[in-house]
Amino acid sequence: MPNFLKELRRKSRSSFKAEKPDTNGSTDGSSSSNGSNGANGRYPPNNQSSSTLTSNLGSTTPPSTLPSQNSETNLKSSGSASPVRPMVSTKRYSINGTASSPTTANGLQRPFSGTSAFAPCVTSVSENSWVNQKVLLIRGRIGEPTLKLLDGTVTIYHHHDSFPPTQWPVCDSHFKALVHLQPGPNRLRLEFNSTKLSSGSSGHSSMLQLNYLPLTSVPPLQLAIILAKDSPETYDAVPDRIQREGNNLHTAVRKFRMAAYLWQAFTGEQMNRHGFGRRCFRYEEEWTQGTLTYHDSQSGQMRNEAKIHIIRSDKTVEEIRNLDLAQQYEKAQKKGDLYGIAMESVKNYFRPRPGQKLYVSCMFLDTHWDSQVGTVRGHAALGGGDGTVQLAIFGSHALQSYPASIEEVVPAFTDCTRTDTKHVANDCNESGSNWEAANIGIGAHLHETGHLFGCPHQESGVMLRDYVRLNRTFSINEPYSTRTKSQGQRVLKQEDECTWHRLDCLRFRYHPCFRQPVDSPSSSDDSIQVWSVGNNQVLVTAASGIAYIELYPEGDDVCHYWLEYPVPSANGGPLRQVTLTEADLRSRLPEEKRNKKLKLELHSCGQGKHVVEDFSALLSKSNRVKLPDGRAGFKGSKLGFSQMDGSKPQELILESAFIQTKLLTSIKVYHGFALDGIEFIYEDSTSQLFGQRGGKPGGSEFPLDTRKGETVMGFHLRAGLWIDGLQILTTLGRRSEMFGNPTGGSAHTLIPPRGYAIAGISGSLAAWVDGFSLIITR
C-alpha cells in the first residue's frame, strides 16, 4: 500500500474516534423552545412586557414533550448530562473547533476540553431552537451565578467555520453577542477567556445548536438607497473616516445592510420576550460579495445577504437638498415633498401591479449637513403608505457612525469620539458622540419602518424615541453619554434596554410580513363589525378573528389600556366573536378616567381596524328598532360615510322577519359602478326596496332555493365613502356575483352574530347608496 494511503487511513481512523459523542453532557441534545400561553387577554398592569415571556407560537416544529430548557441548564460546572435531554451523535453536525474537530479555519490546533465551571451559558435561547433570521442576538453569563464575577471575552466559532470567529466582551460574567447562521442545523462553540483565570485553564467552552429556517413565502421588507440623478454617490463623513473606510456607495451599502440586520435581530428578540416566538420580517436576499464580516472584503467571499436596491431618482442633488426637509428646521416649507419623491422613485423602480403590496425602507444618500444654516438638507424621517407601497424614508447624515460588519457592532456602540459639526450633524442635539449618532440614525430609521408596518406613536418603546438606548441591546456596557451628561453603566441588563411596545408586537404578530408556516391561513376579509344587542352588551365579530382592542378615554392620544385575545393553542383558531360591556371596559381604567367619554379601536387578526368614537352612544336607544311584532331590533356598525350631497337616511324592516307566512324568494340588486338599491321579492309577488332602481336597467336578480330552505345569511360588501359593491351570502353556502364595483373600497362581511338573524337594513341614499348596516334581531 502506498505511504500516502496509509497516512490517509490513519487520519480517517483518528477522525472517527474524535467524532464519538461527548458523554460529559456539554453539547448534543435536543429541547423544545421555551413555551408560554402568551397574552392573558388583559392589558399588563404596568404596561411593561415581562422578561420571562416566551412562546411556541413562532416555532416551526411541534413542541417537544420534554421540559423546556436552555443552555444554562445543560452547561453546569459538574459536566454531567441533563437527565431529561437525550444525547444525539455529533457525527452529523461535527464542526471545526468542536470536540470532534479541534482545528481553526487556518489549520492550527485549538485545545478543547469538556465544559468547565466557567463555560458560557446562553440564557436567551434554548438548545435546538428554530429561528428564521440569519443574524441572531444572544445573551448569557459565564458559569453559575454563584461563581465570582469575571471580565474577559467570549469567542464564537460558527458552524463548519462557515463564518469567521467573532469575539464579544464579557463584563461581570455577562455577555451579549450576534451569531451568523447557515440554513439548517448550526453547531456553535462558545469559548471564554479571561486574564483572571490561570494561564493553564483554557477550554472554558460550551456548545449550542440552533436551527435556521429561512422564510420565502412571506412578503419581504425591501431595502433601498435613493440617489439623485447627478449624485456623487458619497455621504457626509469626517475626513478621518473618509481616509480610513471611505464614504462611497459601496461603504454605504455595507453599513445600511448591517443596520438592517440589527433591526431584525432586535425585533426577533423583542417578539420572543413578548411571548410570540422569534418571528420577524425577512429581507430579499441576493448572492453577492459578503459584507457581514470584514474578512469577506479581503477574501472576496460570496454570500447570500440582504439586497440593497439602488434607485436613481429623476431629481438632482440640488433639487433634493433645496427642499429644506429637515424636520427640526423651522423654515422648512415642503416637509412632505421628499416622501413624494421617494414614493414616485420606488414605484417607478419596482412597478407594482394592481393587488400587489410592497414594503420598502429607503435611505437618501444625498442628505447633507448644512453647517452654515444649521440643518440637515435632503432628509425627512417619515413612514406610512398608500395601500400599494408601504414606505419609510430617512437620511444618510448619521451613516458614518454605523457599523459595517458584525465585528464593528460593539466598537460602533462604544465609540465616544465627539461629533464634529463642521462635517456631520448632531441630530436633534442627541448625537454628541459617534455611538449616540449610531443610535439616532439606526434607531430613528427603525422608528419610521415601524410606521411602515402600521405602528402609531406609543407611550414607550421605539415608537416613542426609546431608540436613544438602542446600543444597550447589543452592548454589555455603556460609555459616557453627551445626551444625558452621565458616565454610563458598567453592566446593561435586560430591563435597561430599548424595547418595542407591547402593542407594536401585537401588530407584528398578525402582520403578513411576520407570518410563519405554522400560522393558520389568513382571511381575505379583515373587517370588524360591532353589534349593540341590548342589556348593555356589544358583540364584536371578525371573520379573520379579533386580535386586541385599544381603549382611549377622552384626553388620551396614545394608548395606555387595552385588551388582548390571543390565539388559543388548543384549536389554533382566533376568537371571531367577543362580548363587551361598558362596566367591564371602564373597570380597566384609572378611577379618574372612568367617567370620561370612551373611544375604542378594534383590531382584527387580518390587520383591519374599526373605530367606535363613543362607546356609550353605541348602547343608546338610537341604535334600537322596534319590530312590528314587538321584538327588539339592533343596528350594526355602518359602512359608508353618509356624507354625499343630498344624502338622506333610509330604513327597511323585512316583512319576512315578522310575518311567518311571508316567503322571500329572490333578491334583485340595482347597480352600476356603485350600489343603487336592493329589492327583496316575496312569493306573493310583493317586494320591498332599499335605495333606488338605478344603474343597470332591470337590475340583477339572485333567486333563492326555497325548496331547500335557503335564506339570506348576510352580505359581503366593498365600501369606502359609499357602498361600491354587494354580494349576497346564503345559508346553503352559496354566493352571488359581486354586483357593482368589485375592486372599490375595502372588503367587509356583514353576518349577524350567533343567535341573531337579519331583520332589515338601515343606511342612507344620495345619488347612490352611501350608508349601509344590518338590523338584527334574536
Domain 520-618, CATH: 2.60.40
How far is 607 from 527, CA to CA, in rounded Å?
A: 8
Q: Which pLDDT score is estimated for 34?
A: 38
**Could you say which DSSP state residue 378 is in?**
S
Residue 410 CA: distances (Å) to CA of 12, 401, 402, 632:
41, 12, 11, 67
Residue 443 CA: distances (Å) to CA of 252, 305, 432, 461, 511:
17, 21, 15, 11, 21
How far is 106 from 555, CA to CA, in rounded Å?
A: 65
Whether 129 contacts 122, CB under 8 Å:
no
Question: Cell numbers of 423, please?
Answer: 462635517
pLDDT digit string, tens, across residues 546-561 = 999 999 999 999 999 9
Question: Would you tell me how many other CB atoms lie within 10 Å of the CB of residue 555?
Answer: 8
Q: Which pLDDT score is estimated for 239?
A: 96
CB proximity list for 299: less than 8 A, separation 6 or greater: none
CB proximity list for 136: less than 8 A, separation 6 or greater: 125, 178, 179, 181, 210, 265, 268, 278
How far is 593 from 578, CA to CA, in rounded Å?
A: 24
The burial class, CB within 10 Å (0-12 / 13-18 / 19+), for 233 is middle
Instruction: Give the torsion sign (CA, 160, 165, 168, 174).
Output: positive
Q: Which pLDDT score is estimated for 517?
A: 86
Question: Would you tell me how many other CB atoms lie within 10 Å of the CB of residue 482?
Answer: 17
Question: Cell numbers of 146, please?
Answer: 454563584
Question: Does residue 156 surpass a pLDDT of 70?
Answer: yes
Mean pLDDT of the region 449-454 = 97
Q: Which pLDDT score is estimated for 336?
A: 58
Q: In this structure, which amino acid lies at residue 720?
A: G
Helix (H, G, I), strand (E, B) or coil at 468: helix
Radius of gyration for the chain, computed over Cα atoms and rounded to the nearest angstrom: 31
Residue 160 CA: distances (Å) to CA of 94, 179, 181, 474:
8, 13, 11, 25
Residue 143 CA: distances (Å) to CA of 73, 79, 136, 168:
11, 11, 22, 16
Task: List, in sequence order, every residue forming a beta bridge with 121; answer none if it has no partner.
Answer: 141
How far is 430 from 426, CA to CA, in rounded Å?
A: 6
**Could you say which DSSP state residue 591 is in?**
G
How far is 668 from 262, CA to CA, in rounded Å?
A: 57
- 349-358, 565-574, 588-597: which range is least confident on average? 565-574
Question: Does residue 96 surpass a pLDDT of 50?
Answer: no
Whether 292 contacts 261, CB under 8 Å:
yes
Q: Which pLDDT score is estimated for 88?
A: 35
Mean pLDDT of the region 36-50 = 37
Question: Would you tell me how many other CB atoms lie within 10 Å of the CB of residue 117?
Answer: 16
Mean pLDDT of the region 655-682 = 94
How far is 692 from 675, CA to CA, in rounded Å?
A: 9
Percent of the chain past pLDDT 70, that is, above it, reads 82
pLDDT digit string, tens, across residues 377-413 = 999 999 999 989 999 999 999 999 999 999 999 999 9
Which residue's entry shows cell 334581531?
A: 777
Domains 520-618 and 624-777 share a fold: no
- Chain centre distance of CA 743: 28
How far is 674 from 174, CA to CA, in rounded Å?
A: 64
Kindly indicate the confidence band of residue 571, based on its pLDDT and cuts at 50, 70 and 90.
low
Kindly indicate the confidence band of residue 570, based on its pLDDT and cuts at 50, 70 and 90.
low
Instruction: Name the CATH superfamily, with its identifier, for domain 624-777.
Output: Jacalin-like lectin domain (2.100.10.30)
Instruction: Please choose, from the candidates 699, 700, 657, the residue with its C-alpha nearest in 3D space to the C-alpha of residue 682.
Output: 657
Q: Which pLDDT score is estimated for 28?
A: 36
Question: Does residue 353 surpass a pLDDT of 50?
Answer: yes
Instruction: Give the torsion sign (CA, 542, 544, 546, 551).
Output: negative
pLDDT digit string, tens, across residues 748-761 = 999 999 889 999 99
Question: Cell numbers of 412, please?
Answer: 460602533
Whether 368 contacts 375, CB under 8 Å:
no
How far is 286 from 278, CA to CA, in rounded Å?
A: 23
How far is 369 from 371, CA to CA, in rounded Å?
A: 6
pLDDT digit string, tens, across residues 606-618 = 999 999 999 998 8
Q: Which pLDDT score is estimated for 122?
A: 95
Ramachandran bin of 200, using left for φ above 0, alpha for ψ from -120 to 50, beta for the remaining angles: alpha
How far is 295 from 405, CA to CA, in rounded Å?
A: 9
Question: Does residue 505 surpass a pLDDT of 80?
Answer: yes
Instruction: Please choose, from the candidates 314, 378, 382, the residue with its C-alpha nearest in 3D space to the C-alpha of residue 346.
Output: 314
Q: Which residues of 292-326 are buried (b: 16+ CB within 10 A; e: fewer)?
A: bbbebeeeeeebebbbbbebebebebebbbebbbb
List, edge to edge, every strand of the sheet that includes 598-604. Answer: 561-564, 546-553, 598-604, 609-612
Residue predicted with more confidence, 590 or 200: 590
Residue predicted with more confidence, 198 or 319: 319
> How much helix, strand and coil, in percent to the nearest 5, is found in the chain?
20, 30, 50
How far is 451 from 428, CA to CA, in rounded Å?
A: 20
Kindly indicate the confidence band of residue 95, based on its pLDDT and cuts at 50, 70 and 90.
very low
Whether 376 contacts 326, CB under 8 Å:
yes
Kindly indicate the confidence band of residue 152, based on its pLDDT and cuts at 50, 70 and 90.
very high
Whether 266 contacts 204, CB under 8 Å:
no
pTM of the model: 0.81
Question: Does residue 630 surpass a pLDDT of 60?
Answer: yes
Kindly indicate the confidence band of residue 108, based on its pLDDT and cuts at 50, 70 and 90.
very low
- Chain centre distance of CA 505: 6
Kindly indicate the confidence band of residue 315, based on its pLDDT and cuts at 50, 70 and 90.
very high
Q: Which pLDDT score is estimated for 622?
A: 82
CB proximity list for 213: less than 8 A, separation 6 or greater: 60, 130, 131, 132, 183
Antiparallel, parallel or unpaired: β 577-581 and 308-312: unpaired
Kindly indicate the confidence band of residue 115, based on its pLDDT and cuts at 50, 70 and 90.
low
The distance between the two most distant Cα atoms of the chain, rounded to a whole number of Å, is 105
How far is 388 from 420, CA to CA, in rounded Å?
A: 41
How far is 723 from 745, CA to CA, in rounded Å?
A: 8
Instruction: Please choose, from the candidates 357, 369, 361, 425, the residue with its C-alpha nearest in 3D space to the C-alpha of residue 394.
Output: 361
Mean pLDDT of the region 28-37 = 36
Say which of 305, 448, 655, 679 is annotated catalytic.
448
Residue predicted with more confidence, 383 or 637: 383
Helix (H) or strand (E) holding 137: strand 135-142
Mean pLDDT of the region 505-510 = 95
Whether 301 contacts 289, CB under 8 Å:
yes
Domain 3-39+55-212, CATH: 2.60.40.10
How far is 400 from 427, CA to CA, in rounded Å?
A: 13
Instruction: Please choose, from the candidates 364, 354, 428, 355, the residue with its C-alpha nearest in 3D space to the C-alpha of residue 391.
Output: 364
How far is 680 from 700, CA to CA, in rounded Å?
A: 12
Question: Does residue 26 surpass a pLDDT of 60?
Answer: no
Kindly indicate the confidence band of residue 325, based on its pLDDT and cuts at 50, 70 and 90.
very low
How far is 739 from 268, CA to CA, in rounded Å?
A: 44
The burial class, CB within 10 Å (0-12 / 13-18 / 19+), for 109 is exposed
Based on the residue annotation, tell me whether 448 is a catalytic residue of this protein: yes
Angle CA 62–68–71, to nearest 5? 115
Q: Where are the domains of the chain?
A: 3-39+55-212, 221-512, 520-618, 624-777
Whether 747 contacts 524, CB under 8 Å:
yes
Contacts 24+ apart (CB under 8 A), 47-51: 47/459, 47/460, 47/502, 47/560, 49/270, 49/273, 49/274, 49/499, 49/502, 49/505, 50/273, 50/275, 51/273, 51/494, 51/495
Kindly indicate the confidence band of residue 117, based on its pLDDT and cuts at 50, 70 and 90.
confident
Q: Which pLDDT score is estimated for 747?
A: 86
pLDDT digit string, tens, across residues 705-715 = 999 999 999 99
Q: Which pLDDT score is estimated for 569?
A: 55
